[in-house]
Structure 1
Amino acid sequence: MDRAGFVVVANRLPVDRDEVGGWRRSPGGLVTALEPVMREADGAWVGWPGQAGGELDPFVFDGTQLVPVALSDEDVELYYEGMSNDTFWPLYHDVIAAPRYHRVWWDAYVRVNRRFAEAAAEVASEGATVWVQDYQLQLVPQMLREARPDLTIGYFHHIPFPAYGLFSQLPWRRQVLEGLLGADVIGFQRVADAGNFARAVRRQLRYVTRASGIHVPQPDGTTRVALAKAFPISIDTQSYIEMAERPDVQARAAEIRESLGNPRKILLGVDRLDYTKGIRHRLKAYGELLEDGRLSVEDVTLVQVASPSRERVAAYIQLRDEIELMVGRIDGDFDTMDHVAVRYLHQAYPREEMVALFLAADVMLVTALRDGMNLVAKEYVASRIDNRGVLVLSEFAGAADELGSALRINPHDIGGLKDAIMRAVEMPAAEQGRRMRVLRRRVREHDVAAWSRTFLATLEASRRWQGSRG
């Protein structure tokens, strides 16, 4: 195994198994953002291959060294489905669903985090930079620092970080904070998330915090400064623009409108099937608009794409049942022979089909109850090369901090959500254009490549500063 000067540590490798047992590149912004950096630095990526059981040797894919971390069926059940997605996920998303605290889950989480840390420590060259990704691996930074004090360590938290009153419920709160503070730079989606983290550190660990710097006492009596800052993630904007310009994608958008009976307006929701996304609130508001007579199925159709997610976790099984019951009731009450109220699609689609949907949709509904960022909002904006369309955006999504020209809503306020949908449906083309041009400028200037450059430049500056202090 070759040593690497730049190492990414993430729950998943950037590849999936293909139909013939080989590998193909995974879709996703993180993979796209880091590909140029990986190539320049002869980088390595440490992660789980996505299938339980079986040891895989490191291998090279598309110029990047991949270091698989094996997980057993029990690891997947306890570390991933349990601690990561039934404890941290609901706790960090403002307890929309109740988090569960099981010591056996925590023990598995520690064990698996150590396995990732050991794999990263083994592949990293002397003085390498290691970038750890997301809430499944919050203990890895400190484990890495103890094993390899020569490393420069970054961590990025892709989901929200909760207010202290919620975070303090966690029985292992000190261990998590200490784990994250092993990093030189801890990145968050929003300024508020970085602030929540710093407050938790002050309350729990009593460390001094100044601006974005957190003073972390070291075993030798010195102090190391870790930075906790916001670095809002984005998308590969240009790839969405290029796809939206393709004649076949534009033709597919026209086909979609035709297949829905050419309604005057198409509303669109695109989400993982998750309780954080506010899908029930969106359906309730839309159903009431039909009931009130403010919208009619002859004029307006809602397309809801809900890609499958965590299908073995009880809360997700229940959510799917509830949403499909709501869709059935709305369609039963309002469908006609020629028009459908809600076209519900419990499937994942390739990017070309999603861009065609974005082009076909007049209104994009992002009604998240809590979301670290919500890249779908940015994907919709990037795809609207005609400078038309309206983005209705929850103030509880990280994207709301950047996309100020969207129609902002509180998804818990069903009356306000209904009014926002009506305003979007009735918005004149000139106002759509003014708003969309501002949104598109923001998404073009702050793309995913700019995000990774900014984070890594901050990490490099931290490395130089720590070195000058030493």
Structure 2
Amino acid sequence: MENERYDLVIAANRLPVDKLTGPDGEVSWRRSPGGLVTAMDAVMRGRDGAWVGWAGDAGDAPAPFTDNGMELVPVPLSAAEVADFYEGFSNDTLWPIYHDVIVPATFHRSWWAAYKTVNQRFADAVCAVAAEGATVWIHDYQLQLVPAMVRAQRPDVRIGWFDHIPFPAVELFAQLPWREEIISGLLGADFLGFQRKADAENFVRACRRLARLSTRGEHVQTVDGRVVRASAVPISIDTAGLDELARTPEVQARAREIRESLGNPKKILLGVDRLDYTKGIRHRLKAYEELLRDNVIRPPDVVLVQVATPSRERVEAYRQLRTEIERTVGRINGEYAAIGSSAVEYLHHSYGRDEMAALFQAADVMLVTPLRDGMNLVAKEYVACRHDGDGALVLSEFTGAYHELKSAYVCNPHDIEGTKRVITKAITDPVRERRKRMKSLRKVVGAKDVQTWATNFLAALEHAPHRPEEAEDA
């Protein structure tokens, strides 16, 4: 694919494939799970498109290659850049700021230098494969400088950027020493998409207060006279695909096996999270432990299954979190587990799509209780898998999903007493009430799937204004 150009170029921190090395050393690639990959598959089908991203290993990048009809363009990262750009600036500087500083952010000028270097490398790769007048869609907080870097080289292309995580209030964003550079980087785009209206408003407010730019509604006027629109385009999931998967005999049988392996409890509570301090796992365990202490629930009638997918284990805050959670799980089981049954089944590894669908089918109550989350697709995935019309979703009001899934059992995870009441209600509500809520939730998730999200984003990008007078007419 050398010297080939594409009408649609996707840029994200990671390629949509995972590297597999066989016993004989032969390398193959497996399509990654996740909503973004599913969405881009639908968008690229029948289009001339390429995906720019890191392949996941430090060192030299593989040559560009084709996977299932999608052209993949790997970007190299050295071991030092993985440490400074990804683990450092992206996940120890930006991530805390963008998630309400649940843990303190760390600021290092060397990390910022690496962030700029890697963003320029991504921008160069995008420009090298984008056709004249191409659409370029850049994703997430790791690549916030890429829009302006691409525009500097290729003013002919249409540039969109989507933020998969929250965008912070201006008072938090202001802590970043490089705040104006990030604003300028993002304003290289024609259209900026966010999960929530509040996130888009936070960005526009940061432009006005920190960069002293003129704003009007969703529009920001740049120093070079362009107008950039920032708006909410909440992401979703492959609803039909998950619903179909959950109905298969294999998944149905596996769901029954899971219940049997847990001793056929009356109620299974389920948490599925990346092991991250933003996900509220510690608060969830505290609420659950107090319900056990208060004798509201008791094993073997009730069990909590907590899946905690490994995450960023070279970052100190994550290592500390894992230690604390495992210590808490051990204490709860030591205090409340019955012989032959656990109070908490703790699983520190990831699962495939089929196993997750079975877990969703097996769980009577789904606990989605982050302290802050851009969207949280697990909430939508649980709903999509409940074709039986039963099940209860306990949902934090600090997720993007809350703004769409209003029929869930809503909680403030910081309020332990309130969370306990909501969990108890989800466990004890009559079947009729649970089914009424689930019917409403499934209607929302069914109407707004991942293909709808991608279509809406690209339509907003296509019609984004170029000049102030176009913004006035919008």
TM-score computed with the length of structure 1 as normaliser: 0.97
Which of 339, 364, 367 is residue 366 of structure 2 equivalent to? 364
- For the pair 1:198 / 2:204, whether they are aligned, the reply is yes
2:30 to 5, 24, 28: 24
1:124 alignment partner in structure 2: 130
CA distance in 1, matches of 2:69, 2:470: 34
Of 309, 312, 319, which residue of structure 2 is paired with 1:310? 312
Aligned to 2:343: 341
Aligned with residue 407 of structure 2, among 396, 405, 408: 405
Structure 2 letter corresponding to 1:456: L
* Paired letter, 2:57: Q
* Pairs aligned (count): 465
Instruction: Identify the match of residue 188 of structure 1 among 188, 194, 219.
Output: 194
The Cα offsets for residues 413-461 of structure 1, whole Å up to 9 and x where unpaired, read as: 0000001111000011101111001100100110000000000011111
Aligned to 1:215: 221
Whichever residue aligns with residue 324 of structure 2, its letter is: E
Match in the other structure for 2:287:
285
Contact 1:78 1:105 in 2 (8 A): yes
- SS, match of residue 217 in structure 1: coil
Distance 1:284 1:186 in 2: 38
Q: Hey, what does 1:57 align to over in structure 2?
A: 63
Query: Any residues of structure 2 matched to 1:247-396 within 5 Å, and which?
Result: 247-396=249-398
SS at match of 2:320: helix
In 2, Cα distance between equivalents of 1:350 and 1:65: 24
- Give the corresponding residue for 2:170: 164
Measure, in 2, the Cα distance between the counterparts of 1:411 and 1:26.
Answer: 31
Which of these residues, 450, 453, 456, is aligned with residue 451 of structure 1? 453
Counterpart position of 2:179: 173
Q: Which residue identity is paired with 1:76?
A: V
- Is the contact made by 2:158 and 2:461 (CA closer than 8 Å) also made in structure 1? yes
Aligned partner of residue 236 in structure 2, secondary structure: coil
Q: Give SS of 2:263's match.
A: coil
Match of 1:139 among 130, 142, 145: 145
Are 1:88 and 2:94 counterparts? yes
Shift, 1:467, TM fit? 12
Cα separation, 1, equivalents of 2:142 and 2:33? 19
CA distance in 1, matches of 2:469, 2:5: 22
Question: 2: CA distance between counterparts of 1:249 and 1:39?
Answer: 28
Kindly, what percent of the aligned residue pairs are identical? Answer: 60
Q: RMSD of aligned C-alpha atoms?
A: 1.3
C-alpha contact 1:285 1:417 (8 A) present in aligned 2: yes
Q: Is the 8 A contact 2:228 2:465 kept in 1?
A: no
Q: Which runs of 5+ in 2 are unaligned?
A: none
The aligned amino acid for 1:134 is D
Q: Which residue of 2 aligns with 1:40?
A: 46
Flag the 1:463–1:120 CA change in 2: closer, same or farther, 3 A: farther
The correspondence for 1:105, drawn from 80, 105, 111, is 111
Alpha-carbon distance in 1 for matches of 2:232, 2:467: 19
Kindly report which structure 2 residues correspond to 1:8-19, keeping only aligned pairs within 5 A, or say none. Answer: 8-19=10-21
Distance in 2, matches of 1:71 and 1:463, equals: 35
Distance 1:421 1:257, change over 3 A: same
Q: 1:88-124: CA deviations, max 9, x gaps? A: 0111000001110000000000000000000001100
Letter in 2 for 1:125: A
Structure 1 runs (4+) greater than 4 angstroms displaced:
463-469
SS of residue matched to 2:451:
helix
Cα displacement (A) at 1:40? 2.3
Tell me the secondary structure at the aligned position of residue 238 of structure 1: helix
Amino acid at match of 1:448: V
| Preserved contact between residue 37 and residue 43 of structure 1 (Cα < 8 Å) | no
For residues 18 and 42 of structure 1, the distance between their equivalents in structure 2, rounded to whole angstroms, comes to 27
Residue of structure 1 equivalent to 2:230: 228
2:250 aligned with 1:244, yes or no?
Answer: no
Q: Secondary structure at the match of 2:463?
A: helix
Q: TM-score, normalised by structure 2?
A: 0.96
CA displacement, residues 378-434 of structure 1 (integer Å, 9 cap, x when unaligned): 000000001101100000011000000001100010000001111000011101111
How far is the alpha carbon of 1:341 from its aligned partner? 0.3
**Equivalent position SS for 1:276:** helix
For residue 39 of structure 1, report the CA deviation from its aligned partner.
Answer: 3.0
2:75 corresponds in structure 1 to: 69
Once residues 300 and 76 of structure 2 are traced to their aligned partners in structure 1, the CA distance between those partners, rounded to angstroms, is 53
Q: State the distance in 2 between where 1:462 and 1:366 align.
A: 34
